[in-house]
């Protein structure tokens, strides 16, 4: 399919899995279709209702920020490519779903190793560390996140009951420096996101009191 030469390039959103130690990119997950909507919530982190009026305006850290997106995965487009055609015929979109699902799983190798440690009498087994997950939604929004909600609605199936169309709902909580620390790779990425947000805010001109119907404070 050809496109008009002057049409802008459509960027995709997605997730990037990074080694928290080395910073090596382990996997890039590009959404097949960009969601039509993206919901965000921010919850201010304040000192609280302590009754101390000197603390009323104090913030103890960045807000807790969360995202919710719904993405569609459809086998129809993948069938157009010979390299993917056979995989889709045999498995539907299960491989694409598995890539997302396994973000929440420790590796089977880690589970086997932990079981062996427990069997040998090890008293303390350190929980497996997951890759650092980054949510990328344009160059202005690259942030470390934790998946807090994950649901899949499979909508159509092939004759072998492999799903060929599904909607994936993801809830993401942004991990800030309070969660990761300033020295963590994810903490550094969060601060870059935070500072970019401040830069964007300076691009909007301040209003004047007259626009609010008042002449002074």
* pLDDT tens digits along 182-202: 999 999 999 999 999 999 999
Provide mean pLDDT across the span 8-21: 90
CA–CA separation, 176 and 189 (whole Å): 9
Residue 174 clears pLDDT 90, i.e. is over it: yes
How confident is the model at residue 125, as a pLDDT? 80
Q: Is the CB of residue 166 less than 8 Å from the CB of residue 154?
A: yes
Q: Rounded to the nearest 10 degrees, what angle do helices 82-91 and 94-101 cross at?
A: 80
pTM: 0.87
| Sheet strands side by side (includes 14-18) | 25-30, 14-18, 132-136, 142-157, 163-174, 59-74, 38-46
Q: How much of the chain exceeds pLDDT 70, in percent?
A: 93
DSSP 127: P
Higher pLDDT, 126 or 169: 169
DSSP 31: -
Map residue 157 onto helix, strand or coil: strand
**Token pair listed for 107:** 């590796």
Provide mean pLDDT across the span 121-128: 80
How confident is the model at residue 118, as a pLDDT? 87
Residue 40 clears pLDDT 60, i.e. is over it: yes
Q: Is the CB of residue 34 less than 8 Å from the CB of residue 12?
A: yes
pLDDT band at 110 (very low <50, low <70, confident <90, very high): confident
**Token pair listed for 137:** 């939604």
DSSP 20: T
Provide the CA 133 distance to its chain's centre, in angstroms.
7
């Amino acid at each position: 399919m050809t496109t008009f030469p002057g049409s802008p390039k459509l960027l995709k959103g997605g997730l990037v899995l990074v080694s928290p130690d080395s910073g090596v990119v382990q996997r890039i997950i590009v959404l097949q279709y960009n969601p039509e909507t993206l919901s965000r919530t921010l919850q201010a982190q304040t000192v609280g209702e302590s009754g101390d009026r000197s603390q009323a305006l104090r913030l103890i850290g960045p807000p807790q920020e969360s995202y919710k997106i719904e993405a569609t995965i459809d086998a129809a487009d993948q069938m157009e490519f010979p390299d993917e055609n056979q995989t889709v015929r045999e498995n539907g979109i299960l491989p694409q779903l598995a890539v997302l699902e396994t973000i929440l799983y420790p590796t089977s190798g880690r589970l086997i190793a932990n079981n062996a440690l427990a069997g040998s009498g090890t008293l303390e087994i350190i929980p497996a560390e997951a890759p650092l997950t980054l949510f990328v939604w344009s160059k202005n929004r690259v942030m470390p996140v934790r998946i807090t909600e994950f649901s899949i609605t499979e909508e159509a199936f092939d004759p072998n009951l492999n799903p060929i169309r599904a909607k994936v709902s993801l809830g993401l909580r942004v991990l800030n420096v309070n969660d990761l620390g300033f020295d963590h790779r994810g903490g550094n990425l969060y601060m870059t996101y935070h500072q970019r947000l401040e830069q964007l805010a300076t691009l909007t001109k301040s209003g004047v009191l007259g626009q609010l119907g008042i002449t002074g404070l």
